[in-house]
Amino acid sequence: MPHDHHDHLSPSGHPYRPDDDHPLTYWQQMEIAVRELLIEKGVTTAAAINAQIEAMDARSPAHGAAVVARAWTDPDFRAALLEDASAATRAMGFDIGPMRLIALENTDTVHNIVVCTLCSCYPRNLLGLPPDWYKSRAYRSRTVKEPRKVLAEFGVSLPDTTTVRVHDSTADMRYVVIPHRPAGTDGWNADDLAALVTRDSMIGTGLAKSPDAA
């Protein structure tokens, strides 16, 4: 920009946003220092660190959606997933590292929702990085206290006949919700079903999409 007056509008008609340049924080400096030392001392390499970042970025809710769709269509897999979700997802070919996973099945009478009140534990090794709101103080504190109000704000209204089970991910386990299979999908194959499984439905803040909305 030739000159930087804050009251100027951009050609789009919106005000220019201020640049978010700021000095490195203490912990950002610490991360860079430790990373450079580890590389300098030959403990790891820049390429290995990049490969790990790429592996994490390659993980996405699509992986979880494939797991859910298979559970909907393959009763033996569903049973194995509920018994030991880590082993079942590994057997399906997903590299989830050392993650210990529990699958929580929604039914006509039970709705599961996952939160980590202590920090932001999330099944990253299956679903990738969590949404920002999952880490917010509001989501973490309110979900254990008023889950139905939180669900309503996500557009999910549950009848009184449904029990809400909140799962506080406090220690070693990570959780993925198996949403209720939408009505009107009889005979669908797993690939088509997977397109109905949203990230939020696997956290429990959403439902799987109905076939009409897909």
Partner 1 sequence: MTDRQYMRVRADMPPGHVRTPGYLRGKIGWVERTLGPFPNPEQLAYGLNAQALPLMRVRFSMAEVWGDASETPTDTIDAEIYSHWLEPAEAPHAP
Binding site for partner 1 (CB under 8 A): 100, 117-118, 144-149, 160, 163-173
Q: What is the tally of helices (H) and strands (E) in the chain?
A: 10, 4
Choice between 52 and 141, CB closer to partner 1: 141
Residue 35 vs 149, nearer CB to partner 1: 149
Work out the burial of residue 209: count CB atoms within 10 Å of its CB; fewer than 13 is exposed, 13-18 middle, 19 or more buried.
middle
CA distance 55 to 125: 9
The pair of structure tokens assigned to 74 is 């393959």
Q: Which is nearer to partner 1, 49 or 118 (CB)?
A: 118
DSSP-derived secondary structure for 152-192 = HHTT----TTSEEEEEE--SSEEEEEEPPPPTT-TT--HHH
Catalytic residue among 10, 60, 86, 120: 120
Closer CB to partner 1, 107 or 163, in the complex: 163
What is the closest distance, in whole angstroms, from the C-beta atom of residue 211 to partner 1 in the complex? 29
User: Given 119, 136, 141, 210, which residue is catalytic?
Assistant: 119
Catalytic residue among 86, 116, 169, 201: 116
CB 69 within 8 A of CB 190: yes
10 is an active site residue: no
Residue 121 falls in the annotated catalytic set: yes
Q: Minimum CB separation from partner 1 for residue 163, in Å?
A: 6
Q: Quote the least distance from Cβ 76 to partner 1, whole Å.
A: 22
Shortest CB 83 distance to partner 1, Å: 11
Q: How far is the CB of 170 from partner 1 (least distance, A)?
A: 5
Nearer to partner 1, 7 or 172 (CB): 172
Beta strand pairing call for 163-168 and 173-178: unpaired
Q: Which amino acid is at 168?
A: D
Is there a contact between 123 and 178 (Cβ–Cβ < 8 Å)?
no
Kindly name the residue from 86, 121, 169, 201 that is annotated as catalytic.
Answer: 121
Is the Cβ–Cβ distance between 118 and 135 less than 8 Å? no
Cβ contact 123:64 at 8 Å: yes
Q: Quick check: is 169 catalytic? A: no
Catalytic residue check, 210: no
Tell me which residues are annotated as active site. Answer: 116, 119-121
